[in-house]
């Protein structure tokens, strides 16, 4: 199979790649600048429970009452233990569906994806999912997000999670081409073996490619290198590629992995 190509067209003012995006907003802080760009490039918008609080509060600070109407979600769904009464009343009065799902064996994020799947079945298409939030705040929630990304890779081609600091997704087993837009991405990136015993990696286009083993000490000024002819094993009990760097002259990063691995890159929200 040819490498799977990835890009961040949903961060562009005028996306060159036309895809159907669904935005799911979690109960974590985000900037209006990031929200506005993701919103305009997605055609379905859903708040996971307290994500509606974040949406209303963020839009209220940034926009006048007239323009707030441009940021009405298609629905709010969850167990509603975090949704404020004033937020619920505000959106319900404007015709936004508020769905109370009592299932305690699924998270609010999972409930929203379930709603999207039902929509997709009716329309006969599949959306790429953008999760706004999920990589900050409580560690257990972050681990859930990464775990769910692993599960979703089995049934969906592309799922991204985005915060003001990071963008991340799971690269499934195989080869990948990641288009690098230097306007939006900072120099730091990582390949994280979350949820696997180890992943055998080969990369091209990074400052420290993983056909060679790189060990970074806590002192950023000191680097020790061990070179191997073979590909690199990445695992929590061994080498983990954190604080790697993108190269300004490299428009594409190539990754080959034997197991699913989390790719993460620094996001420059001020450039949106």
Give me the pLDDT at residue 220, please. Answer: 41
Residues 41 and 105 in one domain: yes
Q: Residue 66 has what pLDDT? A: 67
Distance in angstroms (rounded) separating the CA atoms of residues 134 and 44: 19
pLDDT computed for residue 63 by the predictor:
64
Tens of pLDDT, residue by residue over 4-35, are 999 999 999 988 778 899 999 999 999 999 99
Confidence of residue 231 (pLDDT cuts 50, 70, 90): low
**For residue 155, what are the domain limits?**
19-164
Compute the average pLDDT of residues 138-147: 90
Give the pLDDT score at 223. Answer: 40
Residue 37 per-residue DSSP state: H
Tally of CB atoms within 10 A around 39: 20
Q: Are strands 4-6 and 185-192 parallel, antiparallel or unpaired?
A: unpaired
* Span of 39-43, 162-166, 188-192, 225-229 with lowest mean pLDDT: 225-229
The pLDDT of residue 137 is: 82
Q: Quick one: tokens of 154?
A: 């089995």
Same domain, 261 and 187: yes
CA distance 220 to 243: 9
Residue 75's Cα: distance from chain center in Å?
20
pLDDT at 233: 67
**Domain for residue 11, yes or no?**
no
Residue 89 has pLDDT above 60, yes or no: yes
pLDDT score of 225: 34
**Whether 156 and 183 share a structural domain:** no
**234 pLDDT above the threshold of 80:** no
In angstroms, the Cα distances linking 7 to 141, 165, 174, 189, 214 are 26, 17, 17, 15, 26
Residue 236's pLDDT is 63
d(CA 42, CA 24): 10
What confidence score (pLDDT) does residue 235 get? 67
Domain endpoint, select from 112, 143, 164: 164
H helices of 29-138, where? 32-40, 51-62, 65-68, 85-92, 108-123
| Residues 215, 95 within the same domain | no
How confident is the prediction for the chain on average, in pLDDT?
Answer: 88
Is the pLDDT assigned to residue 174 strictly greater than 50? yes
Q: Residue 221 above 50 pLDDT? A: no
Q: In the chain, pLDDT over 90 holds for what percent of residues?
A: 71
Q: pLDDT confidence of 101, banded at 50, 70, 90?
A: very high
In the prediction, which pLDDT does 69 show? Answer: 78
Dist. CA 25–CA 112, nearest whole Å: 9
Please, what's the b/e burial string for 63-72 (b: 16 or more CB within 10 A of its CB; e: otherwise)?
eeeeebeebe
108 shares its domain with 242: no
Mark which of 114, 133, 164 sits at the end of a domain: 164
Total number of domains in the chain: 2
The predicted pLDDT at position 237 comes to: 65
């Amino acid at each position: 199979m040819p490498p799977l190509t990835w890009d961040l067209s949903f961060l562009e003012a005028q996306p060159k790649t036309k895809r159907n995006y669904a935005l799911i907003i979690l109960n974590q802080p985000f900037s209006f600048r990031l929200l506005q760009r993701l919103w305009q490039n997605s055609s379905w918008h859903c708040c996971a429970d307290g994500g509606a609080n974040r949406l209303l509060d963020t839009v209220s600070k940034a926009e006048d009452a007239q323009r707030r109407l441009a940021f009405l979600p298609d629905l709010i769904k969850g167990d509603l233990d975090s949704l404020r009464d004033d937020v619920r009343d505000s959106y319900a009065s404007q015709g936004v569906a508020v769905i109370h799902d009592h299932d305690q064996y699924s998270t609010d994020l999972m409930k929203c994806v379930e709603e999207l799947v039902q929509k997709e079945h009716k329309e006969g298409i599949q959306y790429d999912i953008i999760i706004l939030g999920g990589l900050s705040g409580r560690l257990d929630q972050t681990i859930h997000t990464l775990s769910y990304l692993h599960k979703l890779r089995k049934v969906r081609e592309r799922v991204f999670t985005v915060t003001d600091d990071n963008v991340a997704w799971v690269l499934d087993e195989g080869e990948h081409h990641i288009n690098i837009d230097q306007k939006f991405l900072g120099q730091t990136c990582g390949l994280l073996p979350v949820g696997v015993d180890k992943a055998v990696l080969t990369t091209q286009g990074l400052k420290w490619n993983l056909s060679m083993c790189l060990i970074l000490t806590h002192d950023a000024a000191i680097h020790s290198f061990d070179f191997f002819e073979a590909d690199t094993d990445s695992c929590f009990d061994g080498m983990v590629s954190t604080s790697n760097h993108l190269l300004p002259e490299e428009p594409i990063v190539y990754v080959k992995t034997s197991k699913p691995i989390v790719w993460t890159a620094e996001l420059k929200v001020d450039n949106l």
